[in-house]
Structure 1
Amino acid sequence: MSLVAFDGFSQETRETNQSKFGEFRDRTSSYYRSASGKPGEGYWQNKADYVIEATLDDEAHRLSGTITMNYTNNSPEELEFVWMQMEQNRFTEESRGTLTTPIQGNRYNGDVDGGYEISNLTSKVGKKGDSSSEYLIDDTRMQVWFAEPIPARGGTATVSMDFSYKIPTDGMDRMGKLEVQDGYIYAMAQWYPKVAVFDDVEGWNVEPYLGAGEFYLEYGNFDYKITVPYDHIVVGSGKLMNPKEVLSSELMDRYEKAMNSKETVYLISPDEIKNHELTRPKQEGMITWHFSIENSRDVAFSSSDAFIWDAARINLPSGKTALAQSVYPKESDGQDAWSRSTEYSKASIEHYSEKWFEFPYATATNVAADIGGMEYPGLNFCSYRSKGSGLWGVTDHEFGHNWFPMIVGSNERRYAWMDEGFNTFINHYSSNEFNNGEYPSSLNETRRYLNWFTNEGREGIDTYPDVSNLSNLGMIAYNKPAMGLLVLREYILGPERFDNAFKSYINTWAYKHPTPDDFFNHMENVAGENLSWFFQGWFYGTGNIDIGLATVAPYAGNYVAVLTNEGEIPMPVLLEITYDDGSTERQMVPVEVWQRGNTWNHMIRTDKTVTKVVIDPDKILPDIQIGNDSWPTVIYEKK
């Protein structure tokens, strides 16, 4: 490509890129959400507290229980009803999730012989209101009506019911049961009816539970009791409230030792799995484990008589401590496998707590199950087959979800990228730090994904997860948004400005419900940069980056580098210039050069001889052409 215009390298063109640089969203402040990306003066969200008692039948493989949900309506309108999420109804022949699963199946296969049995439902507004038993179940949603509306701005209501269902074996790679040599492992999630979110953006969020879309839940306090056979070990979200009742004196001593140990301590070793005299305070019947967690959006638990159990202390920046623990079967034992799980868990939680926001819960538990990887507050289910780097990666990823979306409560069912992508991004730094880079991240190797970026079947990040092609989901929910944050931190803003803004976003929206616009607005306001050109291009649509270097030529005692923008997403241009004496220099050309056209002449002022110029020398950008980013031109031959 030739230099622009005539002698003097005129910058004038008739092109305009206003559509790339103009505002693509409404920045107007509302009473509820401000243009600065903060909750507005009138921001509200409703609250749901739960008291649950459940019993596990390990012969019939059923869970039965009673739930009482205490609901606070902080919204500015009365509510005649609430919607509840009934995710176990996904496991029926006629569920929308079953009927929208391809015949050949996919990751989100599920059993079809389950579903909730509901009885004794009662709803009441306030303490003295009339009771109602009116409800309607449709697929994975239940509408519960009240005898009178829940008052606005602080009105309360209670919904209670009994529930029971068959525990699926194949629980859509999120929950279920696994048979191992010494018994069954029950991975219990989506295990109780829970209220849907009513917010200022959508009203009731009632998308059905299909598969790829995950969860969007209100915050509250949970008090729950799980009754199991006496020889089971139960781990759950939050704090174990009655350890002396469920642990033998020997186990109690080991439990307390683990809470004060920086090294992993066995509570139940591989040789002690069936040693009930050692592990159990009673030798028959059923036993009840009691857990509690505050300011959480969900709880999950696991129960088994086949667990190895180990734990260690987590050190938090404030001086507080928490407990990292792992439970796994003999099949998962070994230093190349789950014997390092607690080490991984501790390192992950400590890293994120130091770098972004302190972990708020009493325990961080990793459970080996027949689940690729799934996260809940303070508890993961990860594959019992995982080893080495794979186990580190899935453990670190699932614990990273405690920050997105457990602390920052975005709507996963609509915006998977706000939890999966953000989490994949923070995993990059955690992996690089762990054990001096034992399992380094490859997220910064963005050009390894160029075949996807140029594939006609690619979709945009903004595609809803349940709508997207599953072959694209890994990119649009995980990798592409994570790469976007990597580019923003390492190339556009720099670590200091990015970290200030990202930490502020986490602190501002902790235990709240941000939207994509809240994130975009907050990052711009704290970083002090209008990033509409980047957010629009990267997070919406399927455009690509293609910044080029047409040539470098002597001019008026200096040099001119002719830059081109051949892609749909403009970018600042980082140049690394090499001189004949071997020295190098870096210059950043601001993104604004593309506002009026797609070619720009950049003056390199020097009295040295330029021998080489390279765009993006650290190869941070997923630029789809690698043949036009250097001068003299490098010829890349296919191998």
Structure 2
Amino acid sequence: MMKKLLAAVALLLMATPAVARNYNPRETFAPLDLGQTVNRYRSSNGMPGPDYWQNRADYAIRATLDTKAKVLRGSVRITYTNNSPDTLRVIWLHLEQNLYKAGSRGYKAAGGPVRGVTGGMALDSAKIAIGGDAAATVEPLISDTRAQLRLPAPLASGETAVIEIAYHFSIPGTFGGRMAWGRSKDGEIYDLAQWYPRVAVYDDLRGWDPLPYLAQEFYLEYGNFDYWLTVPSDMIVAGSGKLMNPEEVLTKRQVGRLEKAAHSDETVMIRSPDEIGDPATRPKRGGTLTWHFRMENTRDVAWSASSAFAWDAARINLPNGKHSVAMSLYPAESAGPERWGRSTEYMKDAVERFSAKWYPYPWPAAINIAGPATGMEYPGIVFDGIPDKGKVLFWISAHEIGHSWYPMIVGFDERRHAWMDEGFNTFIDVYESDEFNGGEYAPKRDSEYAPGGGNPVDEILPILADKDAPPIVSRADTVIETWRHPVTYFKSALGLILLRKQILGPERFDHAFRRFTAAWAYRHPQPADFFRAMASDAGEDLDYWWRGWYFNNWQMDLAATKIAYVDDMPAKGALITVAAKDKLIMPATLRVTFADGSVKDVRLPAETWIRQAASAVPVGGTSKVVRAEIDPGHKLPDKDRSNNVVTG
């Protein structure tokens, strides 16, 4: 019987005409060059190699906010450790405030009118000390949003340089985008980010990597941060990390409330909306106060300050009995249970779920700010919109704090590979929306084609059909706004969902994804590291998937085309021909319905199409097949579902 069945399959394949001019198995399944050499730094299994190294930058920053002049003045002491095998002659810094200078590369690249200008970041002085030598004055060589510091002596492997810089800049208004100052009903709000000179990454792939800032995102070194912020005494300040001197900047009552919140699963008011403007809620009238924050093992810090903030908080429960604190700060017009009154609830739930599912949250606080810089993330603190409410506030809060994992813990180069931080984070926050409060705000879909939340495999079809849409693996700065969200967020996230549910299954995917996350926590993985890590841990050659979904914008058209029988006798078993009519393929389910009423699902691996465009699949049975359908659950991004069914 088996010999007859195999012979029938062979004859059917020989008789099958070419059904897919667009499909060539040798193209789809060809070996994939990931463009990154395997070596002692980065291993073949996608993990950091035995000689992986990473430089380090520790910061001590003191800054003063001048609310009258709208100027920030500061000084920073950067302790930079060269862990590379190379001797360094220069150090590059990022000065992202120079984006707002007239004539900046970022404004030219935007291709539209300049929204607003400032004088950028002025470096008032710079000194560098190597080892135990005395500090030498250096003259920064500024090029757009970067500054090169030429070292007074070579910085050998294992040595440390101490850089001291005084600086100032005018704070952009709402045209600042990711950081800005603006007005609320009761006072001004300042969202401060990109607010100090930051060391660029020197890595094993490119050496110094100080790409100009074109209003995309960031690639930074890890270290410890201590920072002191001097602001008018009527202001409340929230910053990345832990507040080190609460007794100096809060009232005794507020210190007690904050302590209560640290042990409460219910939201506790630290400063209620009714208390905004009450002098009794500040420990000092007139003058200034200096707030001291500390954050360890982070690549950045950001902060916000306002006299108009209400403030609430609650405990976050983390794995292994550890805790953090969720906080929300917002003006009076954002208050209420339909608005920011639930923000801390959202933050707490998201951090707890992400920690349990993927990797424990490492920092002392997770803070949500309602202010002028909306929809932007930094380690441990996110900026969202004053008018946000309901499902929009939930979605944006969960998404932005989700960035604490990607790229704040796992240090992706989001300046080049925005699809990794945005796509990975959209992937995890889709599940958060499904699970929060029994799906209160589900489903969450990041597609402009069906904003109400349709089937994502249908929503992606216009993107796959768009001949001008870029592949996911594109340099971030080249992806224009038309495709930025559909490709960088939605397609990237959907690629992970399809990999998890349809290709590997949750058991293999989750193990590999968690292992990758833990291995690269506080390190700098590249796309090739991720591709190798998932394939190696899952035990699957995924080149066909990386090529079709990530490196190209291929379309899928799977079809069920023919019903046949062994020796033309249904009692001897049926053969269903399935065809790939376009370049993208995936594992699929074939559902066969027999005349006797029985139904059988046959799982088709990707290798069904590894040698030919059409395969005759033995499905058994003893009665006539009345219907065969590929992808009956509508799980795959198939562009033409009209050919998914064949009847007999």
Q: Which bracket does the TM-score occupy, shorter chain normalised?
A: over 0.9
Displacement of 1:583 after TM fit? 4.6
Q: Which of 209, 213, 227 is matched with 2:213 structurally? A: 209
Q: Deviation per CA, 1:322-358, whole angstroms, max 9, x where unpaired? A: 1100001112112111111000000000000000000
CA contact (8 A) 1:565 1:599 kept: yes
Give deviations 1:541-579, integer Å, cap 9, x for gaps. 221222111233444422222111112122222122334
What is residue 25 of structure 1 aligned with on the other side?
A: 33
Cα distance 1:74–1:368, how it changes in 2: closer, same or farther (>3 A)?
same
1:175 paired residue number? 179
1:170 deviates by 2.8
1:144, CA displacement in angstroms?
0.7
Distance apart, 1:11 and its partner CA: 5.6
Does residue 1:74 correspond to 2:83, yes or no?
yes
* SS of residue in 2 equivalent to 1:306: coil
What is the rounded CA distance, in whole Å, between the counterparts of 1:239 and 1:442 in structure 2? Answer: 32
Aligned to 1:369: 371
| Corresponding residue SS for 1:100 | helix
In structure 2, distance between residues paired with 1:237 and 1:117? 24
CA contact (8 A) 1:547 1:571 kept: no
1:615 maps onto 2:617 in alignment = no
> Which of 97, 107, 122 is matched with 1:98 structurally?
107
Q: 2:452 matched to which residue of 1?
A: none
Tell me the residue number matched to 2:520. Answer: 509
What residue in structure 2 maps to residue 301 of structure 1? 303
Higher mean displacement: 229-238 or 458-467: 458-467
* Per-residue deviation, residues 91-138 of structure 1 (Å, max 9, x unmatched): 1111111122223x5xxx652123112112111211225513132011
Shift of 1:167: 0.5
Corresponding residue of 2:390: 388
Aligned residues of 2:395 and 2:444 also touching (Cα < 8 A): no
Deviates more, 1:312-321 or 1:622-631: 622-631
CA–CA separation in structure 2 for the residues paired with 1:590 and 1:28 = 30
Residue matched to 1:117: 122
Contact 1:11 1:600 (C-alpha < 8 Å) held by counterparts: no
In structure 2, the residue matched to 1:282 is 284
Identity %: 43
Alpha-carbon contact 2:13-2:614 (below 8 Å) kept? no
Secondary structure in 2 matching 1:611: strand
Q: Is the 8 A contact 1:247 1:281 kept in 2?
A: yes
Quote how far apart the aligned CAs of 1:202 are: 1.1
TM-score computed with the length of structure 2 as normaliser: 0.93
- The residue number in structure 2 matching 1:637 is none
The correspondence for 2:46, drawn from 26, 32, 37, is 37
Hey, what's the Cα distance between the residues in 1 that align with 2:383 and 2:252? 28
Q: Which amino acid aligns with 2:156?
A: P
Given that residues 375 and 401 in structure 1 are in contact (C-alpha distance below 8 angstroms), is that contact kept between their aligned partners in structure 2? yes
Residues 393-422 of structure 1, C-alpha deviation per residue, up to 9 Å, x if partnerless? 100000110110001001001111111001
Distance 1:229 1:629, change over 3 A: same
Residue 348 of structure 1 corresponds to which residue in structure 2?
Answer: 350
Greater alpha carbon shift after TM alignment, 543-552 vs 238-247: 543-552
Aligned to 2:411: 409
SS across alignment from 2:592: strand
**1:568 match:** 583
Corresponding residue SS for 2:635 = coil
Question: Which residue number in structure 2 is paired with residue 432 of structure 1?
Answer: 434
**1:165 equivalent among 166, 169, 173:** 169
Q: Which amino acid aligns with 1:68?
A: R
Q: Which residue of 2 aligns with 1:65?
A: 74
| Cα distance in 1 between the residues matched to 2:576 and 2:335 | 59
1:464 counterpart residue number: 475
- Say if 1:114 and 1:168, in contact at 8 Å, map to a contact too: no
SS at match of 2:183: strand
Contact 1:296 1:377 in 2 (8 A): yes
Gaps of 5+ in 1: 634-639
Measure the CA separation in 1 of the matches of 2:468 and 2:121. 38
**C-alpha distance in structure 1 between counterparts of 2:88 and 2:37, whole Å:** 28
Partners of 1:449 and 1:521 in 2: CA distance: 25
Seen in structure 2, the aligned counterparts of structure 1 residues 537 and 583 have a Cα distance that, compared at 3 Å, is same
CA contact (8 A) 1:244 1:252 kept: yes
- From the superposition, tell whether residues 467 and 28 of structure 1 become closer, same or farther in structure 2 (CA, over 3 Å): closer
* Matched position secondary structure for 2:12: coil
Superposed CA offset, 1:30-87 (max 9, x none):
1211111111121101000000000111111111111011000001111011000000
Q: Which residue of 1 aligns with 2:252?
A: 249
Change in 2 beyond 3 A, CA 1:54/1:9: same
Q: Partner residue of 1:474?
A: 485
How far, CA to CA, are the matches of 1:380 and 1:406 in structure 2? 12
The answer on 1:48 being equivalent to 2:53 is no
Conserved? CA contact 2:24–2:583, under 8 Å: no
- One-letter code aligned to 2:31: E
Note if 1:84 corresponds to 2:93: yes
Q: 1:636 — aligned with what?
A: none
Match of 2:450 in 1: none
Structure 2 residue 192 is matched with structure 1 residue 184: no
Report if aligned partners of 1:50, 1:223 keep a CA contact under 8 Å in 2. Answer: yes
Is the Cα–Cα contact under 8 Å of residues 345 and 396 in structure 1 kept in the other structure? yes
Taking a change above 3 Å as real, the CA distance of residues 632 and 368 of structure 1, as seen in their structure-2 partners, is farther
Is contact 1:110–1:168 with CA below 8 Å preserved after alignment?
no
SS in 2 for 1:71: strand
Mapped partners of 2:272, 2:647: distance in 1: 63
Judged with a 3 Å threshold, the aligned counterparts in structure 2 of structure 1 residues 623 and 16 are, in CA distance, closer, same or farther, namely: closer
The separation in 2 between residues aligned to 1:142 and 1:6, in whole angstroms, is: 67
Spell out, residue by residue over 1:439-487, the C-alpha distance to the aligned partner (whole angstroms, 9 max, x if none): 1134452212322221222111112121112100112211111111111
Which residue, out of 229, 232, 236, partners 2:235? 232
Secondary structure (helix, strand or coil) at the match of 1:36 reads coil
Distance of aligned partners of 1:585 and 1:67 in 2 relative to their CA distance in 1, 3 Å threshold: same
Residue by residue over 1:149-187, the C-alpha shift from the partner in whole angstroms, topping out at 9 and shown as x without a partner, is 1111x1100111111111101354211011011111101
Q: For 1:386, give the aligned amino acid.
A: D
CA RMSD of aligned residues (A): 1.9
Indicate the larger mover: 110-119 or 494-503.
110-119
Taking the aligned partners of 2:586 and 2:250, their CA distance within structure 1 comes to: 59
- Out of 462-471 and 139-148, give the one that drifted further: 462-471
The 1:28/1:11 distance shift into structure 2, 3 A limit, reads farther
- Cα distance in 2 for partners of 1:283, 1:130 equals 40
What is the number of residues matched between the two proteins?
A: 623
Instruction: Report whether the alignment pairs 1:521 with 2:532.
Output: yes
Q: Distance in 1 between matches of 2:58 and 2:353?
A: 30
Counterpart in the other structure of 1:549: 560
- Using the TM superposition, give the Cα deviation of residue 313 of structure 1 relative to its aligned residue in structure 2, in angstroms: 0.4
Task: State how far apart, in whole Å, the 1-side matches of 2:626 and 2:227 are.
Answer: 69
Which residue in the other structure is 1:138 paired with?
Answer: 143
Q: Distance in 2 between matches of 1:16 and 1:477?
A: 27
1:398 paired residue among 371, 389, 400: 400
Aligned to 2:546: 535
The residue identity in structure 2 corresponding to 1:187 is D
Q: Alpha carbons of 1:603 and 1:123: their partners in 2 closer, same or farther (altered >3 Å)? A: same
**CA gap 1:126/1:562 in 2 versus in 1, 3 angstroms:** same
Separation in 1 of the partners of 2:121 and 2:512? 44
